[in-house]
Amino acid sequence: AKRIIIKVGTSTLIYPNGKVNLAAIDQLAFVLTDLRNRGKEIILVSSGAVGVGMTKMNLNQRPQTIPEQQAIAAIGQGELINIYNQRFATYGQQTAQVLVTRDVIDFPESRKNVTNTLEQLLALGAIPIVNENDTVAVDELDHSTKFGDNDQLSAIVTQLVTADLLIVLSDIDGFYSDNPSTNAQAELYSLVTEINDDLMAKAGGAGSTFGTGGMHSKLQAAKRIFDANRSMVLANGKNPAIIFDILAGKEIGTFFKH
Ligand code: ADP
């Protein structure tokens, strides 16, 4: 794989106590910079704006209303990029903040603009850090819509720049036959070749306080990936160096391939 999209969920970036997981962010910066240095083209799709904003504002509960969440996300997004920039700078890697909305699906003009920007950033050797613009659109915040977390967004970005592989890092080892937090008998699927209703029924919602997408939204993303004839790996982001192993072809997490 030459062009790779990495999506990190809030659960990878924020500890259960609400503090920022600096070790994970630092390791992510190290791993992605190393891949870039080896000639890979990398785009990071990062959640975590609301989580980081909550930490900054000393909130221990996710705000209730959408406008509150938007405000906290705006505070957190700046801080999150700050942390990323600091860590990536340590390794000499240029980053870029790219905020997008669902318009990339609905409007060809927007799609073209976003694609052009991402292509240009890759050509410059930068690592784009993509998130949804929560001020303009609330798809990510409003759980009633299907955009769900950044899982869909990462699949859309994969389509836009025709990347070879999408790696989704979560707080779980992969996709199980049932939610492992409620069913100890649940088994890990190492390979999924088709997304059907049967499989969808096995996916539950988000497990953590800070996670928002849940497994359902990850399967939706996989569906989109299949439609675009791409592949996806879902793996545990506890230790982002796992990306090295995935790219080395080791059997890790759940591999979604047609
Ligand atoms: P992230 O913030 O990384 O996107 P989420 O909390 O949104 O993570 O989604 C991962 C969670 O989905 C897991 O921790 C688990 O509790 C839950 N889950 C529900 N059903 C399943 C399943 N079938 N297999 C794996 N995890 C599942």
Q: pLDDT-based confidence at 243, cuts 50/70/90?
A: very high
Instruction: Say if ligand 1 is within 6 A of residue 242 CB.
Output: no
pLDDT (mean) for 83-103: 96
Q: Which of 258, 249, 250, 172 is CA-nearest to residue 218?
A: 172
SS3 content of the chain, % helix, strand, coil (to 5): 40, 15, 40
Q: pLDDT-based confidence at 207, cuts 50/70/90?
A: low
Structure tokens at 137: 């659109």
Query: Closest ligand 1 atom, CA of 149?
Result: 4
| Spatial contact of 72 and 57, defined as CB atoms under 8 Å apart | yes
Segment 29-77, tens digit of pLDDT: 999 999 999 999 999 999 999 999 999 999 989 899 999 999 999 999 9
pLDDT (mean) for 194-223: 80
Structure tokens at 222: 């996989």
Find the helix or strand (DSSP H, E) in which 209 lies: none
Q: Give the sign of the dihedral formed by CA 74, CA 79, CA 85, CA 91.
A: negative
Helix (DSSP H) and strand (DSSP E) numbers for the chain: 10, 8
Q: Residue written as tokens 């870029």?
A: 96
Query: Closest ligand 1 atom, CA of 212?
Result: 7
Query: Closest ligand 1 atom, CA of 177?
Result: 23
ipTM of the complex: 0.96
| Spatial contact of 118 and 34, defined as CB atoms under 8 Å apart | no
pLDDT (mean) for 145-164: 85
Query: For residue 107, which amino acid is it?
Result: F
Confidence check: pLDDT of 143 > 60: no
Please give the share of the chain, as a percent, with pLDDT higher than 70. 93
Instruction: Say if ligand 1 is within 6 A of residue 176 CB.
Output: yes
The alpha carbon of 41 is separated from its chain's Cα centroid by a whole number of angstroms, namely 16
**Which tops the pLDDT comparison, 187 or 11?**
187
Segment 159-178, tens digit of pLDDT: 999 999 999 999 999 999 99
Q: Tell me the best of 132, 154, 171, 199 to mutate to test the pocket of ligand 1, counting ligand atoms within 8 Å of each CB and taking the most.
A: 171
Confidence check: pLDDT of 146 > 60: no
Query: Who's near 239: CB < 8 A, 6+ residues apart?
Result: 27
Instruction: Say if ligand 1 is within 6 A of residue 226 CB.
Output: no
